[in-house]
Structure 1
Amino acid sequence: MDVHVRDLRYFVAVAEELSFTRAAGRLFIAQPSLSKQIRRLETSLRIPLFERDHRTVALTAAGAALLPQAQRIIRQWEDAQSELAEVAAARRTTLTVGFHTRIGRGLIPNVTAKMAKSLPGWTLLFRQIAWSDPTVGLADGEVDVAVAWLPVPAGFARKVVATEDRWVALPSGHRLAARETVALDELAEEPFIALPRSAGPLREFWLGNDRRAAPARVVAEAETAEESLEAAGSGLGVVLLSAGNAQIYQRDDIVCRRVTGLPPGELAVVWRAGDERRAVQVFVEACERCLCAG
């Protein structure tokens, strides 16, 4: 079986961290999934790469031999991707923008207008990416830049352009629906709709687990904001969302209330570190002017 660059990234992360837990956090994937991928890689190579016990992880001789080669292959692939991006950019005048939730906030028309002045002939193409990809399409080159809620994986440049309180979407008949605000403690026993586990820290943030005494009780997962609000409207559970998205996603079957006891979310423009194309920088600056000024 051929080994993919992703497999090598997983191997290098564990080899450099010498911890499956830290490597999983660095990669924004669940630890059991990472362990499974490493076992699959070892099976395909027909040799163990790590020595494991309950407390330590160490490279085998084979793992130590593979590490510098894997690092080199990853660097070469990243260089190739960068060169291909430059070639593609020279042949097209479209900037693809990724997002998890609807952008709204007047951003698209304002940024489009500013881009038209600075880069005549360029167009913006917006593409929604499932929550299961915490890089919002940047890692695999599906998009050039993204408008995303933090946190995002390490290795990407970002510029925070807005901060918004976290709200909760409740079924319209919920016991807390008549309240103007809801304390986080009042949601302790509520069933929650969560982002997929592959969303990593972003899932934890939108469950409010960063400020809970105990983790949220998850009853279902959703790939998109639309799916999560559909589940909330049906009475399956409740969902945290930003103040701006509470306005954008208004529905008759849900009510949204500000949650106290939680720090705000940060909306950022995110792009691949080292991507210095003028179109990317113009987009970042336009977003900053539009949202920060608002």
Structure 2
Amino acid sequence: MTSLVLTLTETMRYKGALGQWSWLLHRLTGLGVVLFLTLHVIDTSWAVFYPQLYVEAIATYQTPLFTIGEFGLVACVVYHALNGLRIVIIDYKPVWWKYQQRAAMYVLGGTVIILVPVFFLMFGHVLRFYQDPNSKFLGFVDVIRAQLPFAAGIAVAVIAALLLSAVFGLVRGTPKTATVAGRHPMHSSGIERFWWRFMRVSGVLIIPLVFGHLAMMHIIQGVFDITAAGHNVVGTTVANASGTSVEFVADRWSYLVAGVAVWRVYDFALIALVVVHGFNGLRFVLTDYTSFSPFLKRAS
């Protein structure tokens, strides 16, 4: 808690320090993406294992609350991707650190330049859907009720992590490990170096994949078109005859190019990279804010 308060107070105190604001925005946008990722990865699996639940999940996305959230999500993804690329470039070319403030301005400018046309095109899908008198969507209470299982799942995960941390602490105790000049314990430095490299390599790999996904699923074909009967399935030559979200996913994932289910491979690669990258980033954030307590740090 002390670290969190320090983060916020220092950010406010150093107002005008663009690097500090960029750091804070990078964390906040990353956390926003991880929050949606938690929901989206679970409900995407339902398309295969629990089709009816997937239909219900897509119905919640086609509501005013999630429509607003969709615009926020896209903004988070674009800024986080561009700023992450800035971090990677400067990390691997430290002599360019003197340009970091200018680079941060380029990131903000690039984010705005990308979002203006993207939001314009996305709003076209939104306008067509909500102006259609035949469009139906869930009420606010139904949407909130649909999110309760996810909230309960997150609460269970937090409680389980705390219990496991407590058990681990009782069994093993608090080990004393050698440190060098106040750095992290030596035995963990190799692991942390691996994750440091992974976050940068995976971040670069994710950028074209996630931008392609945003283009296909939010711009070329909006979330409302997923359940449009007779609408072409983006990236394929087939149409969604039944107008169901389950058929949309089935048609897309079964589409073959040279005998390869290209969109299944594409989506699985994106999900795998984003899940590991996102939750490892969450681990970094939680570790920063729980460093004062070995118990909480283990749980994170």
Do they superpose with TM above 0.5? no
Structure with the bigger percentage of helix: 2
TM-score normalized with structure 2 length: 0.26
Task: Give the alignment's TM-score, normalised by structure 1.
Answer: 0.26
